[in-house]
């Protein structure tokens, strides 16, 4: 599975759970948690896992930016069995979020220069 496929799988899990919040327990049992998602998808995942269907529909009507871009992107309606299979695939993925989105230890060059001043104090 490459990074693009993983991202689409992550989106699909969230979309399916937004459309059917009862899938949340299946997702949890598969071992999938917030850490399996990139930061930009985590708010939508949290909503899908914690809000009842009526509240999610209300957020959709309000075009809540945390879920609106995903909810209408694709229609994903999975059964418990389908979600279990996909959630396990996500949980067992050899890719970790750190592999896909590494935190760089190298600071970007902002144009400033560090210059050492010579020590002219002498003996």
CA distances from 98 to 36, 59, 119 (A): 10, 30, 43
φ and ψ at residue 30, rounded to 5 degrees: -75, -10
Tokens 């069995």 belong to 81
To the question of pTM greater than 0.95 for the whole model, the response is no
Show pLDDT as tens, one digit a residue, over the chain (123 residues): 788 889 999 999 999 999 999 999 999 999 999 999 999 999 999 999 999 999 999 999 999 999 999 998 899 999 999 999 999 999 888 765 555 554 444 444 444 444 444 444 454
Q: Is 76 exposed, middle or buried (0-12, 13-18, 19+ CB in 10 A)?
A: buried
Closest CA to 86 of 51, 41, 36: 36
Q: Kindly report the number of other CB atoms within 10 A of residue 9's CB atom.
A: 17
Closest CA to 26 of 88, 94, 95, 92: 88
């Amino acid at each position: 599975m490459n990074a693009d496929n993983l991202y689409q799988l992550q989106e699909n899990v969230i979309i399916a759970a937004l459309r059917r919040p009862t899938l949340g327990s299946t997702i949890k049992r598969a071992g999938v948690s917030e850490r399996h998602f990139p930061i930009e998808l985590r708010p939508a995942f949290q909503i899908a896992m914690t809000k009842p269907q009526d509240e999610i529909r209300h957020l959709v009507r309000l075009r809540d930016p945390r879920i609106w871009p995903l909810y209408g992107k694709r229609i994903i309606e999975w059964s418990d069995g389908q979600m279990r299979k996909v959630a396990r695939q996500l949980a067992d993925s050899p890719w970790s979020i750190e592999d896909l989105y590494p935190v760089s230890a190298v600071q970007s060059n902002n144009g400033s220069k560090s210059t050492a001043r010579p020590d002219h104090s002498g003996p």
